[in-house]
Chain A
Amino acid sequence: MSQERGALSDADRKLPRVRVPFVIGQVLVLIGLLIAGLGPMLWLFKAAISPTQDSIRSPLGWFPSGQVQWQNLATAWQQGHIGYYLGNTAYIAAGTAIVSLIVCTTAGYTLSVLRPRWGSVLSALILATLFVPHIVSLVPLYLTVLKLPLVHANLTNTFWAVWLPPAASAFNVLIVKRFFDGIPREYFEAARIDGAGSIRVFTSLVLPLSRPILGVVVLLSIISSWKDYLWPLLVLTNPDLQPVSVALPKIAKVTELNIQLAGLFLALLIPVLLFLVFQRAFLRGVGLSGGIKA
C-alpha cells in the first residue's frame, strides 16, 4: 500500500529552497484564514457585548470605552425573543432531520436490499431530480403546500410545510443507498435463515450498522434547515412559528444596533458549536457530496 504523501516528498521538505517558501506560505495562509474565518465571528462577539456607539464610531477598536455590556445578550434573548425564535429553529431542524431520516433509510433499504423489479425505475426517477434546477419547482411547490393534492389540506403555518419538502432529497437517498450497498449480502442471508422478516432485518441489522452515514444525513439536514431563509419566509407567515433566520431581518429593522448584533451572535453560536463538535462527520459528508456529484 502506498503511504500518505503529496506532490512534495520528504526529501523536498528538507531542502531550504522548498521549505522556506512553504513555511512562509503556511503562515500567510493561516493568517488569511484566521481573518476570514474567525475574524467576523470574534468581531461579532466583541460588538455583541459593546455599546452601540463603539461599533459605529470605531468598528476596529478593542473596547475603547472600557465598558462591557453582557446584558445585551440577555436583552436580545428575552426582549428580542431570539431565544424563542431559536427554539423554533431547533424544532424545525429536528423535525426535518427525522423526516429526512425516515425517507432516506426506507428508500435506501428498498433500493439496496429489497430490490424490487421496479427498483431501477424508482432509482432513475429519484436521480433525475438532481438534474432539475430547484427553481422550476419553487412556485408550484409553494402552491402544493398551500393546497395539498387529493387531501386539500393547507400546510402553510404548520411545521409540516418545512419538515416534508426537504425530505425529497435525492442526495440523501443516494448516499444512504450507497452505504447500504456496502453491507455484505451474507449478513442479510444469515438473518433470513434465522427467520428475520424484512422489517426485522431493517431495524436490527441495517440501521445499527449504518450509524455513521445516518449521522451525516442528520447533521447535513440540521445545518441546511438552520441556514434556510426563503422557504420558511414563504410558508411560515405567522411570526409565532418563524425560525430565527426569518425573524432576524425583521428584528434588525426595529432594534438598536448592539441588541441586533447580540442577536446575530446568538444565532451564529449554535451552528458553530455543532460544527466544532461533529467536525469529522461534517467534513466527511461534504466530501461525500463531492464524490456523488463527480
Chain B
Amino acid sequence: MLFALPVLLVFLVFSWGPIVKGLVMSVQQTNLVDPVKWVGLDNFHYVLTDPGVGQAALNTLWFTLLALLFGFPVPVLLAMFLSELRGRSWLYTTLAYLPVITPPVVAILLWRFFYDPSPSGMFNTILGTVGLGPYPWLDSPSSAMPSIVLEATWAGAGNAVIIYLAALTSVRADLYEAAELDGAGVVRRVWHVMLPHLRGVLLLMLLLQVIGTMQLFTEPLLFTGGGPQNSTMTILLLIYNYAFVNGDYGAATALSVLLAIALAVLSAVFQLATRGWSTE
C-alpha cells in the first residue's frame, strides 16, 4: 500500500480528478469568484451557437487533412527506405530526429523568421533563385495554415520514422526469404511482406496523428495568434481564449468535452471500420 501511494495521489489529483471535474464543469457556470451555478446544457448551447466555433472546427479539420496528406506518407516511405540500410542507418535516423528534439518554441520562432514575406525572406530567397514567389506565407489567410502544416510536418516526422523503423525490424527474415524463393521481386516483397507487416502500426499512427493534429495549439498561437482573419484559429486556441482570455471556464470545458467526444466517436468508428484490416 505504501508503494501505491505516490501513483494514487498523483493520478487522483492530476489525472482522474481533473477529467471528472472537466465533465462536471461543462454544465456549471463558474468564474472563481461567484458561487458555482448549475446551468445544464447552457454552456453547450453557447458554444454551439458561437460562429467562431464553426470556423475553428473547419480550420482544425483543414489542418488535419493537410497534415495527413503531407505528414503521413513521408515518414512511412522514409522508414521503409532506412530499414534497408543496415549498419549505416544511424546517421539517417539521427538527422531525421533532430527536428523532433528541437523545442517547439525555438522551431517556431526560427521558422517565423524563415517565413518572412518580404522578397529577402529566407524561403522567398530560396524560391526566388528558381523564379518563384515572393509568397506571403503566414500573412495571407489562404497560405497561413499550409505554412503551419509545413513546419508541423518537419517537426513531427522524425518521431513517426523511429516508430515505423522499430516495427520494421521485427519482420522475420524468413518471410522475405520465402517470398524470394517463390520468385517475388523486390517490389512484390515490399508490397506483400513489408507493408502488410506495418498495417497495424500504420492504422494506429493514422488515428493517433488525427487525434494529435486536432489538438493543434502552440503553432497557431506563436505563429499567427489565430489570424490573419481567424484563418488559423483552431479549436484548442479557442478553448484557451475562452478560459484564459475571457475567463469563461464553463464554455471552455464544454468545448473541450465536445472535442473529446468527437475524438472518441472518431476513434470508435475508425476501429470498427478497420477491424478487418488490422489483423493479419
Measured CB to CB, the residues of A under 8 A from B are 2-9, 12, 18, 22, 25-26, 29-30, 33-34, 36-38, 40-41, 44, 55-60, 99, 102-104, 106-107, 109-110, 114, 116, 122, 125-126, 129, 131-144, 146, 148-149, 164-165, 167-168, 170, 173, 198, 202, 223, 226-227, 229-230, 234, 244-246, 248-249, 252, 257, 260-261, 264, 267-268, 271-272, 274-276, 279, 282-283, 286-291, 293-294
CB atoms of A271 and B243 under 8 A apart: no
* Alpha-carbon separation in the docked complex, A3 to B173 (Å): 7
Q: Looking at chain B's contact residues, is the secondary structure mostly helix, strand, loop, or mixed?
A: helix
- Known: A22-B84, A116-B4, A268-B106; 20 extra A-B contacts, CB below 8 A, are A40-B102, A41-B98, A60-B122, A60-B125, A135-B259, A140-B17, A140-B18, A140-B21, A146-B32, A164-B13, A167-B6, A167-B14, A168-B11, A229-B104, A230-B217, A245-B104, A267-B105, A286-B163, A287-B165, A287-B166
* Alpha-carbon separation in the docked complex, A126 to B226 (Å): 35
Can you name the residue of chain A whose Cβ is closest to the Cβ of B121?
A59
Instruction: List 26 interface pairs A-B (beta carbons < 8 Å), by A numbering.
Output: A7-B186, A9-B180, A29-B78, A33-B92, A36-B96, A36-B99, A55-B113, A56-B120, A59-B121, A60-B125, A114-B3, A131-B267, A134-B215, A136-B23, A137-B22, A138-B256, A144-B17, A144-B18, A168-B10, A170-B15, A276-B94, A279-B94, A283-B97, A290-B162, A293-B208, A294-B204
CB atoms of A229 and B218 under 8 A apart: yes
Chain B interface residue count, CB cutoff 8 Å, equals 101
In the assembled complex, B130 has its CB within 8 A of some CB on chain A: no
CB atoms of B249 and A143 under 8 A apart: yes
CB atoms of A144 and B14 under 8 A apart: yes
Nearest Cβ in chain A — how far from B227, in angstroms? 16
Chain A residues with CB under 8 A of B177: 2, 5, 9
CB atoms of A249 and B13 under 8 A apart: no
CB atoms of B103 and A245 under 8 A apart: yes
Nearest Cβ in chain A — how far from B173, in angstroms? 4
In the assembled complex, B211 has its CB within 8 A of some CB on chain A: yes
User: Which candidate, B50-58, B132-140, B187-195, is the interface stretch facing chain A?
Assistant: B187-195
CB atoms of A286 and B159 under 8 A apart: yes
If A30-B92, A137-B19, A139-B252 touch, whether A268 touches B103 (CB-CB below 8 Å) is: yes
* Alpha-carbon separation in the docked complex, A91 to B126 (Å): 40
Can you name the residue of chain B whose Cβ is closest to the Cβ of A251?
B109
CB atoms of A33 and B18 under 8 A apart: no
Can you name the residue of chain A whose Cβ is closest to the Cβ of B263?
A133
CB atoms of A133 and B259 under 8 A apart: yes
* Alpha-carbon separation in the docked complex, A154 to B190 (Å): 57
CB atoms of B7 and A290 under 8 A apart: no
In the assembled complex, B146 has its CB within 8 A of some CB on chain A: no
If A134-B215, A168-B14, A267-B103 touch, whether A2 touches B173 (CB-CB below 8 Å) is: yes
* Alpha-carbon separation in the docked complex, A164 to B173 (Å): 45
Q: Which 4 A/B pairs are nearest by Cβ-Cβ distance?
A: A290-B163, A287-B166, A107-B7, A37-B95
Q: Which of B1, B4, B92, B106 contacts A264 (CB 8 A)?
A: B106
Chain B residues with CB under 8 A of A129: 11, 15-16, 19
* Alpha-carbon separation in the docked complex, A275 to B268 (Å): 36
CB atoms of A135 and B105 under 8 A apart: no
B 242-269 binary contact with A (CB < 8 Å = 1; else 0): 0110000100110011011001100100
Chain B residues with CB under 8 A of A165: 14
* Alpha-carbon separation in the docked complex, A6 to B211 (Å): 32
Q: Looking at chain A's contact residues, is the secondary structure mostly helix, strand, loop, or mixed?
A: helix
Chain A residues with CB under 8 A of B215: 133-135
CB atoms of B22 and A103 under 8 A apart: no
CB atoms of A283 and B98 under 8 A apart: no
In the assembled complex, B277 has its CB within 8 A of some CB on chain A: no
If A59-B125, A264-B106, A290-B167 touch, whether A107 touches B15 (CB-CB below 8 Å) is: no
In the assembled complex, B236 has its CB within 8 A of some CB on chain A: yes
CB atoms of A58 and B204 under 8 A apart: no
CB atoms of A37 and B98 under 8 A apart: yes
Nearest Cβ in chain A — how far from B40, in angstroms? 19
CB atoms of B22 and A139 under 8 A apart: yes
Chain A residues with CB under 8 A of B22: 136-137, 139-140
Most A-side CB within 10 Å, residue of B95, B103, B114: B103
* Alpha-carbon separation in the docked complex, A125 to B4 (Å): 13
CB atoms of B260 and A136 under 8 A apart: yes
If A143-B21, A249-B105, A268-B106 touch, whether A291 touches B92 (CB-CB below 8 Å) is: no
Chain B residues with CB under 8 A of A264: 106, 109-110
Nearest Cβ in chain A — how far from B47, in angstroms? 13
Chain B residues with CB under 8 A of A7: 84, 176, 186, 189-190, 193-194
If A36-B99, A140-B25 touch, whether A229 touches B186 (CB-CB below 8 Å) is: no
Q: Which of A25, A40, A132, A287 contacts B162 (CB 8 A)?
A: A287
If A125-B16, A286-B163 touch, whether A249 touches B222 (CB-CB below 8 Å) is: yes
